Amino acid sequence: MPKHSLLALLMAGAVFAPAAAIAQAVPIGNPVAGAELYQYECAACHQIGEDAEHRIGPHLNRIFDRRAGSHAEFRYSEALARQGRDGLHWDFVRLDAYIENPRSLVSGTNMAYPGLEDPVERADLIAFIRAFSDQPQNIPEAAPTAFAPEVRLPPEVLAIEGDPEYGAFLSAECTTCHQRSGAHAGIPGIVGWPEEDFVVAMHAYKKRLRPHEVMQNLAQRLDDEEIAALAAYFAKLGRD
Amino acid sequence: MKLNRRVFLGTASAAAAALSAPAVMGQARPRVVVIGGGSGGGTAARYLATDSDGALDVTLIEPSRMYYTCYFSNLYMGGFWDFDKLGHDYGNMALRGVNIIHDWAMAVDRDAQTVTLGSGGKVSYDRLVVSPGIDFVDGAVPGWDVSKQSLMPHAYKSGTQAQLLKAQVENMREGGTYCMVAPPNPYRCPPGPYERISMVAHVLSERNPTAKILIVDPKENFSKQGLFEEGWQTHYPGMVERIGPDFGGDRVEVRPDEMEVIIDGMVEKVDVCNVIPAQKAGKIAELAGLTNDAGWAPVKPEDMRSLMDDNVFVLGDASQQGAMPKSGFSANSQAKVVSNVIRGELTGSRVFPARYSNTCWSLIATNDGVKVGASYEPGAEQIESVSSFISQTGEDAELRRQTFEESIGWYNGIVADIFG
Ligand SMILES: Cc1cc2nc3c(=O)[nH]c(=O)nc-3n(C[C@H](O)[C@H](O)[C@H](O)COP(=O)(O)OP(=O)(O)OC[C@H]3O[C@@H](n4cnc5c(N)ncnc54)[C@H](O)[C@@H]3O)c2cc1C
């Protein structure tokens, strides 16, 4: 994601979400403002919502996660169709780029739209469009509905070291798969490891050096202190 | 220096300080009642009892003496898992200090803070956890109701229904048709119906290779669709046909006594018919006044607390929380958050920010496992999905076998986490 738009998103989130002690998921944007923008910027060419049909542009229902140029009944430019064949799928980042400047993403597109400069407006618009695509409660793999909070806990809290009580709480997320008994079958045992090995392994998932997506996804939102707390907890579990 | 995290986490700690007083003064222990001993309620009861080390009085109300998991019931149908291995009893939970009442919760009086049992007795609570799973929407599939579930099983609450459907598939006439009436969103386990199709296809391709499978589906698309369709094409070519809403998949009725399915006015004779109707929260959630017009119990994203009552938490399938799919994994994950929050409020223990996650595996054929998963964070109004992953089409056989083995690891992990 271009840096400036991420910043804008975070700002948009700060305006939109109520102030909270705990970092919340950052909304994509404000869908109510987005609805208004849609009427003004897109509705002349694109229908969306129940019974939407192709007009000058294709309808935009279920556009998230869709391969670009993939409505068989719509006549796309060769340029957009080719991007689709190359594997372009619509997600937040691609939609954002296309709406900002259609030709930057698809040089020969025949979407005659000059582009929307303001990143906050684009985020609001995309938040509105997101609601007409698949929802994760029905299709878990569907595009995310928000962004992960940048900081989960205040910095003072992050200064705590290897907190065993917090480790115990965090470990509950792990024991759905890794048994407390340390059993090693199908999923490796993680009980009683030297803390350092544990920490190194978790960071390797976090950095995506180790390939497994289940663990990458889980490690991604653990910070250093949380990993330390988990390492301490599981090491102790092995000694008890 | 060790800082106390509670200081930073606002409201919960203030309430906790006030509420923890009675326990400290040696009066009766605070009482938590859990309705439903499945994935959500079972996890909550266990964690509340073990983590509070006896400081809480935890009562679980669950009519069955054995919990048969829905997860892996499809694998049982495919011949990959034993029926007995689906069943789990409450012995260990009792040993861990949970007071288990094998009875139905019939009513909840939220003013008096009591639950009425089938036997007529009453149990009072300081906090109530409601995790009753799903019930079916009356009249969702015209012609079908639970009195017809032996002719046209749903097999969507596991146990005997799964046994019945398996027997019907195995005894189907040669070249016959198995029909599934798939549910509309939202329903428990988004990939569940399609994993079942895979398992039925596996059995039929071995025992009855000229048989056909017909899916009548009101939904345009479904979870892991690309993976399932690729797998059906590879392992069971030509066997599975799906009718979506564009061809009347959303206009279906059944005649169980005639074994007929009427799709958009066209009558189809079928040999086995698996009707999975539209779903809503388990009845007791509605009786307790916790549900909305959609039939689900809305909750706060940060702690699964009912929007209708601060003393009540709703977990798992019955809740309406946002982006998490209705799954055993989700229910288990939510239960740990709730358990931490309730302990904090009643005993003054530390309350940590919610962490939610989910991974769902499915088996397509022998050693051909796939997975989908995501992380979730509380948003302002609902739980949001912030990242997701899914197995890819065209993965090599070794990776798929490993994914299947992981799913067995997960099954053994989650049942140990709840019932072990
Ligand atoms: C075929 C199939 C496959 C599945 N596969 C998976 C999978 O691979 N992975 C996964 O994570 N999930 C899977 N699921 C989904 C999973 O089974 C559910 O999402 C999960 O069980 C929900 O937990 P729960 O606590 O909400 O409800 P349940 O686990 O259904 O528990 C509800 C409990 O409440 C009890 N109860 C109901 N009413 C009352 C009352 N009035 N008083 C007292 N007790 C009551 C019931 O007896 C029951 O024990 C699958 C489901 C199906 C049908």
- The residue with tokens 């793999």 is A141
C-alpha of residue B3 to centroid of ligand 1, in Å: 39
The pLDDT tens digits of the residues spanning A109-125 come to: 999 999 999 999 999 99
Beta partners for residue B261, in sequence order:
B254, B268
Ranking A161-165, B79-83, B415-419 by mean pLDDT, the lowest is A161-165
The answer to whether A166 and B3 are in contact (CB under 8 A) is no
A172 contacts on B by Cβ (under 8 Å): 47, 336
C-alpha of residue B332 to centroid of ligand 1, in Å: 11
pLDDT at B21: 40
- Enumerate residues lining ligand 1, CB below 6 A: B 35-41, 61-64, 67, 70-71, 73-74, 104-105, 131-133, 156, 188-189, 192, 196, 282, 284, 316-318, 326-329, 331, 360-361
- The residue with tokens 């089938």 is B118
pLDDT at A150: 64
**Which of B100, B97, B103 has its CA nearest to residue B117?**
B103
The answer to whether A110 and A58 are in contact (CB under 8 A) is no
Q: Is A11 helix (H, G, I), strand (E, B) or coil?
A: helix
Cβ-Cβ contacts under 8 Å for B8 (sequence gap 6 or more): A21, A153, A154, A156, A157
ipTM above 0.90 for this complex? no
pLDDT for residue B20 is more than 60: no
Across the range B46-72, mean pLDDT stands at 97
Q: Is B395 on the interface with A (CB under 8 A)?
A: no
Of residues A16 and A179, more confidently modeled: A179
Q: Find, in chain B, the residue whose alpha carbon is nearest to that of A142.
A: B388
C-alpha of residue A183 to centroid of ligand 1, in Å: 25
Q: Is A187 helix (H, G, I), strand (E, B) or coil?
A: strand
B355 contacts on A by Cβ (under 8 Å): 170, 173, 221
Across the range B192-199, mean pLDDT stands at 98
pLDDT at A19: 33
Predicted confidence band at A65 (pLDDT cuts at 50, 70, 90)?
Answer: very high
pLDDT at A160: 54
Residue A114: both structure tokens together: 């000059």
Cβ-Cβ contacts under 8 Å for B341 (sequence gap 6 or more): B12, B303, B305, B313, B351
B340 contacts on A by Cβ (under 8 Å): 169
Residue of A63, A176, A178 for testing the chain B interface, max B β-carbons within 10 Å: A176
The pLDDT tens digits of the residues spanning B361-401 come to: 999 999 999 999 999 999 999 999 999 999 999 999 999 99
Of residues A210 and B3, more confidently modeled: A210
C-alpha of residue B157 to centroid of ligand 1, in Å: 7
pLDDT for residue A75 is more than 50: yes
Predicted confidence band at B19 (pLDDT cuts at 50, 70, 90)?
Answer: very low
pLDDT at A207: 86
Whether B385 and A213 lie within 8 Å, measured CB to CB: no
pLDDT for residue B199 is more than 90: yes
Residue B83 burial class via C-beta count within 10 angstroms: exposed 0-12, middle 13-18, buried 19 and up:
middle
Whether A138 and B323 lie within 8 Å, measured CB to CB: no
The pLDDT tens digits of the residues spanning B338-356 come to: 999 999 999 999 999 999 9
The pLDDT tens digits of the residues spanning B238-282 come to: 999 999 999 999 999 999 999 999 999 999 999 999 999 999 999
Q: Is A185 helix (H, G, I), strand (E, B) or coil?
A: strand
The answer to whether B211 and B175 are in contact (CB under 8 A) is yes
- The residue with tokens 């579930």 is B149
pLDDT at A151: 52
Q: Which of 295-324 (B) contact A at CB < 8 A? A: 302, 322-324
pLDDT at B126: 98
Predicted confidence band at A208 (pLDDT cuts at 50, 70, 90)?
Answer: confident
C-alpha of residue B249 to centroid of ligand 1, in Å: 26
Measured CA to CA in angstroms, residue A167 lies from A171, A194, A218, A240 at distances of: 6, 15, 15, 15
Predicted confidence band at B23 (pLDDT cuts at 50, 70, 90)?
Answer: very low
Of residues A83 and B203, more confidently modeled: B203
- The residue with tokens 């669709």 is B225
Three-state SS string across chain B, please? CCCCHHHHHCHHHHHHHHHCHHHHCCCCCCEEEEECCCHHHHHHHHHHHHHHCCCCEEEEECCCCEEECCCCHHHHHHCCCCCHHHEEECHHHHHCCCEEECCCEEEEECCCCEEEECCCCEEECCEEEECCCEEECCCCCCCCCHHHCCCCCCCCCCCHHHHHHHHHHHCCCCCCEEEEECCCCCCCCCCHHHHHHHHHHHHHHHHCCCCEEEEECCCCCCCCHHHHHHHHHHHCCCCEEEECHHHCCCCEEEEHHHCEEEECCEEEECCEEEECCCEEECHHHHHCCCCCCCCCEEECCCCCEECCCCCEEECHHHEECECCCCCHHHHHHHHHHHHHHHHHHHHCCCCCCCCEEEEEEEEEECCEEEEEEEEEEECCCCEEEEEEEECCCCCCHHHHHHHHHHHHHHHHHHHHHHHC
Q: CB-CB: which of B224, B379, B409 is closest to A24?
A: B379
pLDDT for residue A13 is more than 70: no
pLDDT at B347: 96
Q: How far apart are CA B44 and CA B61, in angstroms?
A: 12
Ranking A39-43, A224-228, B176-180, B296-300 by mean pLDDT, the lowest is A224-228
B412 contacts on A by Cβ (under 8 Å): 179, 183, 185-186
Phi-psi region of B70 (alpha: psi -120 to 50; beta: other; left: phi over 0): alpha
| Residue A113 distance to chain B (closest CA, Å) | 30
Whether A27 and B380 lie within 8 Å, measured CB to CB: yes
Predicted confidence band at A200 (pLDDT cuts at 50, 70, 90)?
Answer: confident
pLDDT for residue B48 is more than 50: yes
What rounded mean pLDDT belongs to chain B? 93
pLDDT at A22: 60
Across the range B97-112, mean pLDDT stands at 98
How many CB atoms within 10 Å of residue B111? Answer: 7
pLDDT for residue A97 is more than 70: yes
Q: How far apart are CA A45 and CA A57, in angstroms?
A: 5
Across the range A117-146, mean pLDDT stands at 96
Q: CB-CB: which of B372, B377, B412 is closest to A24?
A: B377
Across the range B53-70, mean pLDDT stands at 97
